[in-house]
Amino acid sequence: MRAECHGQHISGAERLLPGNELESAAIEMLQRALRHPRGAAQKISFHVEAVSARCVKSGKLLDLSNNSVDSWPQGRRLANRLLRKVGIPKAVAEHSIEILATGAAPSGQSMRGAMLIDADSGERLESDPARGVRASRMDLTAGCRQRLCRLLEQLNLNNSHVVEALTLATKVCSAPGIVAELCWSDDPDYLAGYVASRTLGYQRISHMKPAGEERGGRAFFVRCSKEELPNLVAWLEQAPLLIDQIGLVAGPLHRGKEV
Ligand code: WAQ
Ligand code: MG
């Protein structure tokens, strides 16, 4: 689903579902597009495509750690430190945070998808800097969703932002050539974000921007040759992944601690 208002992206969502759940999922997505905190949609598009069950891979969710910070500057410093832990140079980490903070699209607004950033040089690799790359065709099985929601409940984190972001990050981090992901929401009232990688898991950070800020986005840090890039993009956008196992969900690592 994709919702726009006068050409500006408001929200998007992707699912991978058994055919008999399509109708209810479409209604849910329509309701969400109509009542989005970024504004009322003027145009809502649905794209529905059959995927052969044979092509669907299964997988396990990343482990989630919840880092509570006192302020968004502290959150961004923690994100920077986590990115460096997975080998992203300091200058590349800092620059990527700065780009998301100032609006990654050429218009100075949020992009519709993610930036692809060379993990060593910091060069932007996506072919369309307004659209970026949208990860798609990933979801949780009904059982996995139920187990995850029960676990998140205990941390007071059971909301659709967390469930969807954890699902997306799991697919992105399992892609060949992806080193890490950085994200924070573009919704003015949702201030959290995360850094994720295969080794770090999903490191949730409670504050990544000031209240009311609509600039947010995603950076996928890439280490692959230019020739391999189209395959990576095709994998992110098209390879179906249905997650059927949950990972660990852990409490705060950095509650109120200066980092
Ligand atoms: N693929 C690539 N980029 C995407 C996708 C996608 N499928 N969906 C959204 N984006 C980009 C796009 O630039 C959006 O502007 C930006 O990410 C933010 O999207 O643990 O809510 O849906 O509490 O606003 C993370 C923290 C919340 C969750 C992320 O993202 C938590 C969030 P949003
Ligand atoms: Mg949003």
Using one digit for the tens of pLDDT, what is the confidence trace for 154-193? 999 999 999 999 999 999 999 999 999 999 999 999 999 9
Q: Residue whose CA is closest, atom 20 of ligand 1?
A: 162
How many Cα neighbours within 13 Å face the side chain of 242? 13
CB 110 within 8 A of CB 129: no
Looking at the fold, whether 45 and 60 belong to one and the same domain comes out as no
Looking at the fold, whether 162 and 206 belong to one and the same domain comes out as yes
Residue 252 has a pLDDT of 59
71 alpha carbon – ligand 2 mean position (Å): 20
Q: Final residue of a domain: which of 20, 35, 50?
A: 50
- With a Cβ cut-off of 6 Å, ligand 1 is lined by 12, 14, 110-111, 113-114, 134-136, 161-162, 165, 168, 183, 185-187, 190, 192-194, 204, 216-218
Residue 245 pLDDT exceeds 50: yes
Looking at the fold, whether 40 and 66 belong to one and the same domain comes out as no
Q: Residue whose CA is closest, atom 27 of ligand 1?
A: 185
Please provide residue 106's backbone torsions phi and psi, each rounded to the nearest 5 degrees: -55, -25
Looking at the fold, whether 154 and 216 belong to one and the same domain comes out as yes
Looking at the fold, whether 42 and 97 belong to one and the same domain comes out as no
Going by C-alpha positions, the residue among 118, 101, 119 that lies closest to residue 110 is: 101
**What is the pLDDT averaged over residues 41-54?**
96
> What percent of the chain has pLDDT above 90?
92
> What percent of the chain has pLDDT above 70?
97
Looking at the fold, whether 22 and 67 belong to one and the same domain comes out as no
Residue 258 pLDDT exceeds 50: no
187 alpha carbon – ligand 1 mean position (Å): 9
Quick one: pLDDT band at residue 254, thresholds 50, 70, 90? Answer: very low
Quick one: pLDDT band at residue 112, thresholds 50, 70, 90? Answer: very high
**Structurally, how many domains does the chain consist of?**
2
**What is the pLDDT averaged over residues 4-19?**
93
Least confident of 33-47, 206-220, 244-258: 244-258
Q: Residue whose CA is closest, atom 22 of ligand 1?
A: 185
Quick one: pLDDT band at residue 253, thresholds 50, 70, 90? Answer: low
Mutate which of 116, 185, 200, 221 for ligand 1 pocket (most atoms within 8 A of beta carbon): 185
Quick one: pLDDT band at residue 4, thresholds 50, 70, 90? Answer: very high
CA angle 112, 117, 119 (to 5 degrees): 150
Using one digit for the tens of pLDDT, what is the confidence trace for 210-224? 999 999 999 999 999
Looking at the fold, whether 169 and 251 belong to one and the same domain comes out as yes
**What is the pLDDT averaged over residues 45-57?**
97
Rg (CA), the chain: 17
Looking at the fold, whether 174 and 96 belong to one and the same domain comes out as yes
Looking at the fold, whether 33 and 149 belong to one and the same domain comes out as no
Looking at the fold, whether 211 and 226 belong to one and the same domain comes out as yes
Looking at the fold, whether 31 and 78 belong to one and the same domain comes out as no
Q: Residue whose CA is closest, atom 3 of ligand 1?
A: 113
Looking at the fold, whether 27 and 82 belong to one and the same domain comes out as no
Q: Residue whose CA is closest, atom 30 of ligand 1?
A: 185
Give 121-183 as a DSSP string.
T--B--S-TTT-B---SEEE-HHHHHHHHHHHHHTT--SHHHHHHHHHHHHHHTSTTEEEEEE
Q: Final residue of a domain: which of 50, 69, 87?
A: 50
* Containing structural domain, residue 212: 55-258
Q: Is the pTM of this model over 0.85?
A: yes
Q: How far is CA 13 from CA 93, 113, 134, 142, 253, in A?
A: 27, 11, 10, 17, 30
